[in-house]
Structure 1
Amino acid sequence: MKRDVKGCCVQCSNGRCSTAFHPTCAQAAGVLMHPDDWPFIVYITCHRHRTPVIPERNKASMRELMAGQRVICKHKNGRYYHSELMELTAATFYEVVFDDGSYSDNLFPEDIENRDCVRLGPPAEGDAVQVRWTDGLIYGAKFVASHSIPMYLVEFEDGSQISVKREDLYTPDEDLPKRVKSRMSVASDMRFELFTKNEVKETSKRQRVINSRYREDYIEPVIYRAIME
C-alpha cells in the first residue's frame, strides 16, 4: 500500500545544494543534523556533502583579540563577512526557571518587570520574578543566577554593528568550519544594497527550553495563579 509522505522539508546546508529531506526521513537515512543559529534552525548535510562530525572548536585558535583586528562574523542576514572588532565589553545575563518548567539563561536585567535590576542589581536566588518575554507577554518565573559574559562589538563594512560571544568570531587565518565556509560572502557594493535595503528581520537569540512533560498541559501562569487563589 502506498503511503503519502507529508510535511515540510529541510535543505542541505552546503552552498547552493538543492537536496532536501523530511526531517524524519533524514534521521532514518542517517543524515546528520545539528542545531544552528537563526535564521538557520538546523544544519544538515546530504550524503554527497556529508562530514563525519562538526569538529569541536580548536581552543588554541580562540586566542585573545584586540580592537581594530579583522575578524569573520555572521551578519544578521545569515551570511558570514569580514568585519572589524571595535571593542571588548561585558554583558550581564540572568538565568530563570519559568512556572511551566522551561528555562532561559540569557535574559537581560531589564527583562525583569517587577524589579529595577539595572539600579538595584539581581534578585536573590529563588525569588519570584515577572519576565517580559520576546512575544511581549509577561510570564512568572524564579530567579536562579546572574552571569557576566565577555562580549565583542564588531562592525561590518555596511556600517552595521553587532555584539557577539568569542566563540562566534573567527580570525581570517584559522581553519574555518565547513558550515562557515559554505556561507562566506564578499561584501560588494551591490550586496551591501541587497542586505541593507531588504534586511532580514532580526530576532533575539534567547532560547526558552520547554520541558517535554509540561508541553501538553501548560497553563498560562496568570490563569494558574487565579485558579489556585
Structure 2
Amino acid sequence: MCAVAVLEVRFVNIADRRPVDLNGIPLPRFKLCQYCRKRMKKASGCCVQCSYGRCSSSFHATCAQAAGVHMHPDDWPFSVFFTCWRHKGGTHAERNTASLQGLDEGQRVICKHKNGRYYQCEVAELTKATFYEVVFDDGSFSDNLFPEDIVNRDCLKLGPPAEGDVVQVRWTDGLIYGGKFVASHVIPMYLVEFEDESQLTVKREDVYCLDEELPKRVKARLSVASDMRFKGVFVEKEVKEDSKRQRVVNSRYREDYIEPSVYRAIME
C-alpha cells in the first residue's frame, strides 16, 4: 500500500510487485505524521500529503487508512488522491462518459496541462485513435495501449490480434510484459491547444466544458492564464504582477531582511 501511495516509490519488477525501490524518496517525506505524532517521539516512516490544493497535512498511508481518510485513484503520475479530514468533501466525482456531449472545433474547454494543472484551452482538431485492451499475466489490465505497443506483431500493417492471442507489450518503463489481447476500441480524440501554444491529444472524459460543474480535485488545480500575460505559469515559473502590493518588512526583523535580488541569487 505504501509503495503504491508514495509518488517516488517504484516496483523494480512490476509483475511481481517486488522488490520495492525507495531511493527516490526525498527527505521531506519523512516528517511527522499528524495522526501518530503524539505517540511517536521522532519521525518514523515516509508520509504522503493531502492532494487538495496546497494543503500541508501529511500522514502515513496506513495511519490515513485507519483514520478513514478518503483515497481514490488519480491521474498519472499521482497514483492516489488523498483528502485529509478538512477536505474530505473534495473527493472525486466519477463522470458518466456515455452522457458526455461531443466537442466542436474552436470550442473553449478546460483540460489538464503537462505541468499537472488545469487551464482553459481551445479544441484545435477532432480526430480518432485506436486503443488496444490487454490483460497482463499478473492480472492487471490496460485499455489504452497503442497498436505500436505490441512488439510481437506489426499491428499497424496486420491489424489487431485475435481475441485471446498471447501478446508482448512494451510498457512505459521500456520493459516488455506478457498478456492476452482482449479487444480494440476506436475512440474520438481531441487536439487541444493552450495559451502557451503547446498542444495535447486527449480523450473526451479528460476535457471539461466551461459551463460544466468541475470536480473539486480539478478546482484545486485550476489556474488562469489569459492574454498570454501568465505564460510562465505553464512551466511553473514565478509570475510577478506589477499591480501586486509589495510586502513591507516588519521592523523587528529588518536586520534579517535580504533584498529580493540577493535572495533569488542564493536560491539559484
Task: Quickly name the TM-score band, shorter chain normalised.
Answer: 0.7 to 0.9
Cα distance between partner residues in 2 of 1:100 and 1:63: 36
Find the counterpart in structure 2 of residue 33 from structure 1. 71
Structure 2 counterpart SS, 1:170: strand
Aligned match of 1:85: 123
Over 3 Å counting, the alpha-carbon distance change for 1:59 and 1:90 in structure 2 is: closer
For 2:98 and 2:171, how far apart are their aligned partners in 1?
37
**Does residue 44 of the first structure (1) align with residue 67 of the second (2)?**
no
Alignment counterpart, residue 66 of structure 1, candidates 104, 115, 131:
104
In the TM superposition, what is the alpha-carbon distance from 1:111 to its structure 2 partner? 1.1
Q: Which of 143, 159, 172 matches 1:105?
A: 143
Instruction: State whether structure 2 residue 232 is matched by structure 1 residue 193.
Output: yes
1:159 aligns with 2:197: yes
Letter in 2 for 1:130: Q
Deviation of 1:142 (Å): 2.2
Shift of 1:2: 6.0
- The structural deviation recorded for 1:115 is 1.6
User: Comparing both chains, which one has the higher relative contact order based on Cα–Cα distances under 8 Å and sequence gaps of 6 or more?
Assistant: 1
C-alpha deviations, 1:130-154, integer Å up to 9, x for none? 2222222223322221111111111
Determine whether 1:129 maps to 2:167.
yes
Contact 1:73–1:81 at 8 Å: present in 2 too? yes
Q: In structure 1, how many angstroms separate the alpha carbons of the residues matched to 2:121 and 2:41? A: 50
Determine whether 1:142 maps to 2:180: yes
Deviates more, 1:70-79 or 1:155-164: 155-164
Distance 1:122 1:177, change over 3 A: same
Task: Percent identity, please.
Answer: 71
Distance, in Å, in 2 between the alignment partners of 1:59 and 1:128 is: 30
1:192-214 superposed Cα distances (whole Å, 9 cap, x missing partner): 3354488xxxxxxxxxxxxxxxx
Instruction: Give, in angstroms, the shift of residue 60 of structure 1.
Output: 9.8
- Tell me how large the CA RMSD over aligned residues is: 2.6
Structure 2 length-normalised TM: 0.66
Amino acid aligned to 2:223: S
1:122, distance to aligned residue in structure 2 (A): 0.6
TM-score by length of 1: 0.76
Kindly indicate whether the alpha-carbon contact (under 8 Å) linking 1:91 and 1:150 is maintained by their aligned counterparts in 2. yes
Task: Identify the range of structure 1 (47-56 vs 115-124) with the bigger mean alpha-carbon deviation.
Answer: 47-56
Aligned partner letter, 1:73: C
Larger mean CA deviation between 131-140 and 89-98 belongs to 131-140
Q: Matched residue of 2:89: which SS? A: coil
Distance 1:2 1:137 in 2: 41
- Partners of 2:193 and 2:159 in 1: CA distance: 30
How far 1:166 moved relative to its partner?
1.1
Number of aligned positions between the proteins? 198
CA distance in 2, matches of 1:184, 1:2: 37
> Take 1:52 and 1:113, find their aligned partners in 2: how far apart are those partners?
41
